[in-house]
């Protein structure tokens, strides 16, 4: 690790002031940041430890929803009685990620901000536009098995690797952000992560000095909630493709079909046209195919990850079949 100075922030203002300097970074669980600092992918000159500034509570909101603190751990969130009862897709998505040791340390804010697992990004000897703007993208013509099939650019084809945010996208959760001037703003999870475009180094909408304080979930939506993660082994691997689904049927027809996809893009992928195609219709393999056609209309493979296009289709089928079976 490169040398850095370490301060423990005592208040949010403290933390926010420190990280306004663009060479400083906040550290929460440290499970992503320290990994990248050891690889010299991240080289902050200063770390502001935000673990003791608060924002670790999980509490009811006035409208019947739930606010989960940015500094609450992934484990505390997944096992919380209300998350298990009212937002099972969130518990399931968290439990499908990493390992118990990592989830015990990983925080919800850090999880949202975790960086891509692209092998070129994490190897400083390789070209990577995200790490070193203008150096080229090693993955486009290289090892791209984990990479995106939707929303890519000619600059970067990396994926957002996390699981939790895929469930949050299906739930239409909101990210609560403290701004550097002492104010606050709210950003839907669906708009929190960016597409790579011409600015692949920018992974989310956070501005310098901004700190995530909480994620708020809407009042419980019910329905059948599933998280299906396809990976290379049955545990402890990042998603090749994942689907978070909240599905409801009324009189044999879909009345709700909130779906979000992981492992396919630079952000959890939510395409409202998929729900539009399903709602009001009776489930059938043909209908699922139509939904997949819409989802994958612009999908593009880069050789090694071509398999993700049919895999996303099959995973969509499988999760809808299971949801329909459980809902009826």
Partner 1 sequence: MAQTISVNGAPHSVPDDPRVTLLDFLRQDVGLTGTKKGCDHGQCGACTVIVNGVRINSCLTLAAMHDGDEVTTIEGLGTPDEPSALQKAFVEHDGYQCGYCTPGQICSATAMLTEIANGWPSDASETLEGAVEISGEEIRERMSGNLCRCGAYANIVAAIRDVAEQSA
- Write out the residues near partner 1 by the rule CB under 8 A: 1, 3-6, 8, 27, 29-31, 34-35, 38, 47, 49, 51, 75, 78-79, 84-85, 88, 91-92, 95-96, 98-102, 104-105, 235-236
Tell me which of ligand FAD, ligand SF4, partner 1, none is bound by residue 4, counting a contact when its beta carbon lies within the kind-specific cut-off of 5 to 8 angstroms: partner 1
Q: Beta 46-49 vs 24-27: how paired, if at all?
A: parallel
CA dist 179 and 12 (Å) reads 10
Decide whether 3 or 183 has the Cβ nearer to partner 1. 3
Contact with ligand FAD (CB under 6 A) among 9, 18, 24, 27: 27
Q: Are 48 and 198 in contact (CB under 8 A)?
A: no
What stretch of H or E contains 185?
Answer: strand 184-188
- For residue 29, state whether it binds ligand SF4 (rule: CB under 6 A): no
In the complex, what is the shortest distance from the CB of residue 237 to partner 1, in angstroms, rounded to a whole number? 9
Tell me which of ligand FAD, ligand SF4, partner 1, none is bound by residue 130, counting a contact when its beta carbon lies within the kind-specific cut-off of 5 to 8 angstroms: ligand SF4
Kindly give, in sequence order, each residue whose CB lies less than 8 Å from that of residue 132, ignoring residues fewer than 6 positions away.
none
Tell me which of ligand SF4, ligand FAD, partner 1, none is bound by residue 1, counting a contact when its beta carbon lies within the kind-specific cut-off of 5 to 8 angstroms: partner 1
Task: Name residue 242's beta-bridge partners.
Answer: 229, 262
CA dist 78 and 80 (Å) reads 6
Interface positions, 102-141, toward ligand FAD (CB under 6 A) = 102, 105-107, 109-111, 113-114
Tell me which of partner 1, ligand FAD, ligand SF4, none is bound by residue 116, counting a contact when its beta carbon lies within the kind-specific cut-off of 5 to 8 angstroms: ligand SF4
Of the ranges 6-14, 22-30, 137-145, 309-317, which one interacts with ligand FAD (CB under 6 A)? 22-30
Decide whether 184 or 255 has the Cβ nearer to ligand FAD. 184
DSSP 73: B
Tell me which of partner 1, ligand FAD, ligand SF4, none is bound by residue 292, counting a contact when its beta carbon lies within the kind-specific cut-off of 5 to 8 angstroms: none
Q: Is 15 exposed, middle or buried (0-12, 13-18, 19+ CB in 10 A)?
A: buried
DSSP H helical ranges for the chain = 12-19, 33-38, 74-79, 81-86, 88-95, 100-105, 108-112, 164-170, 189-192, 272-278, 285-295, 308-327
Q: Which of 51, 70, 72, 69 is nearest to 60 (CA)?
A: 69
Two tokens, residue 62 = 């006035």
Q: How many CB atoms lie within 10 A of CB 137?
A: 27
283-312 footprint of ligand FAD as x/- string (CB under 6 A):
------------------------------
Of all residues in the shown chain, the one whose CB is closest to ligand FAD is 110
Q: How many CB atoms lie within 10 A of CB 266?
A: 25
Q: Are 176 and 213 in contact (CB under 8 A)?
A: yes
Decide whether 27 or 296 has the Cβ nearer to partner 1. 27
Tell me which of ligand FAD, ligand SF4, partner 1, none is bound by residue 11, counting a contact when its beta carbon lies within the kind-specific cut-off of 5 to 8 angstroms: none
Tell me which of partner 1, ligand SF4, ligand FAD, none is bound by residue 25, counting a contact when its beta carbon lies within the kind-specific cut-off of 5 to 8 angstroms: ligand FAD
Q: Which residues bind ligand FAD (CB under 6 A)?
A: 25-33, 35, 50, 70, 97-98, 102, 105-107, 109-111, 113-114, 162-164, 206, 211-212, 238
């Amino acid at each position: 690790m490169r040398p850095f100075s370490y301060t423990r922030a005592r208040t949010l203002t403290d933390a926010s002031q420190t990280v306004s300097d663009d060479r400083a970074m906040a550290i929460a669980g440290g499970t992503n940041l320290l990994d990248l600092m050891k690889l010299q992918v991240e080289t902050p000159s200063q770390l502001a430890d935000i673990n003791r500034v608060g924002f670790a509570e999980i509490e009811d909101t006035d409208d019947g929803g739930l606010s989960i603190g940015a500094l609450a751990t992934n484990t505390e969130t997944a096992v919380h009685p209300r998350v298990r009862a009212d937002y099972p897709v969130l518990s399931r998505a968290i439990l499908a990620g990493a390992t118990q040791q990592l989830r015990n340390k990983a925080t919800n804010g850090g999880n949202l901000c975790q960086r891509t697992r692209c092998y070129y990004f994490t190897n400083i000897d390789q070209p990577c536009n995200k790490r070193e703007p203008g150096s080229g993208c090693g993955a486009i013509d290289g090892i791209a098995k984990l990479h995106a099939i939707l929303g890519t650019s000619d600059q970067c084809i990396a994926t957002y690797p996390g699981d939790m945010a895929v469930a949050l996208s299906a739930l239409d959760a909101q990210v609560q952000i403290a701004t550097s001037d002492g104010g606050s703003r709210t950003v839907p999870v669906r708009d929190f992560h960016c597409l790579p475009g011409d600015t692949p180094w920018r992974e989310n909408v956070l501005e310098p000095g901004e700190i995530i304080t909480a994620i708020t979930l809407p009042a419980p939506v019910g329905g059948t909630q599933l998280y299906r993660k396809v990976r290379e082994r049955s545990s402890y691997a990042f998603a090749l493709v994942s689907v978070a689904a909240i599905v409801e049927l009324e009189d044999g027809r879909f009345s709700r079909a909130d779906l979000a996809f992981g492992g396919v893009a630079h952000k959890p992928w939510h395409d409202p046209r998929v729900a539009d195609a399903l709602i009001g219709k009776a489930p059938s393999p043909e209908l699922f195919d139509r939904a997949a056609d819409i989802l994958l209309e612009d999908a593009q493979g880069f050789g090694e990850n071509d398999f993700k296009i049919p895999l996303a289709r099959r995973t969509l089928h499988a999760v809808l079949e299971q949801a329909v079976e459980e809902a009826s």
